[in-house]
Amino acid sequence: MNAADLFVLPSLSEGNPTVMFEALGVGLPFVGTRVGGVPEIITSDEYGLLAEPGNPDDLAEKILVALEKEWDREKIRDYARQFTWENIAKQVMKVYEEVLSKSPSGE
């Protein structure tokens, strides 16, 4: 992955693909489709580009644009650091704590 210029994942259906986080973690710009949780992670064209699922012309255009673009791979790596398993677990715990604090039984 470190030797690649960009990472392309043209899924028609997806959750939050682990491989997307792995690509970002090594500073690879991500080109993928607007499916599942992908748009929640690729929130800026500083990290990647998104195409409409099932639209090969849109995907091809995004790939060509991405290949010509100067990417700040260190910025991509920095962005990806928030998605470590430890950080995700902390965020999940915060949600549970918030839900439990609003529980009618107060537990």
What are the tokens at 75? 């910025």
Residues 90, 43: contact at Cβ < 8 Å? no
Question: In this predicted model, what pLDDT tens digit does every residue of 56-73 receive, in sequence order?
Answer: 999 999 999 999 999 999
Kindly tell me if the per-residue pLDDT of 106 is higher than 60.
Answer: no
If one compares 105 and 26, the residue with the highest pLDDT of the two is 26
- Give pTM, 2 decimals: 0.82
What fold does the segment set 7-101 form as a domain?
Answer: Rossmann fold (3.40.50)
Residues 24, 77: contact at Cβ < 8 Å? yes
Per-residue pLDDT band at 2 (split at 50, 70, 90): confident
Dihedral of CA atoms 43, 47, 52, 53 in degrees, nearest 10, equals -110
Element (H, E) at 40: helix 38-41
How many helices (H) and strands (E) the chain has is answered by: 5, 3
Kindly tell me if the per-residue pLDDT of 51 is higher than 90.
Answer: yes
Phi, psi of 81 (to 5 degrees): -60, -25
* Domain limits, the chain: 7-101
Amino acid at 44: S
Q: CA 86, 99, 36, 47 torsion: positive or negative?
A: negative
CA–CA distance, 4 with 55 (Å, rounded to integer):
24
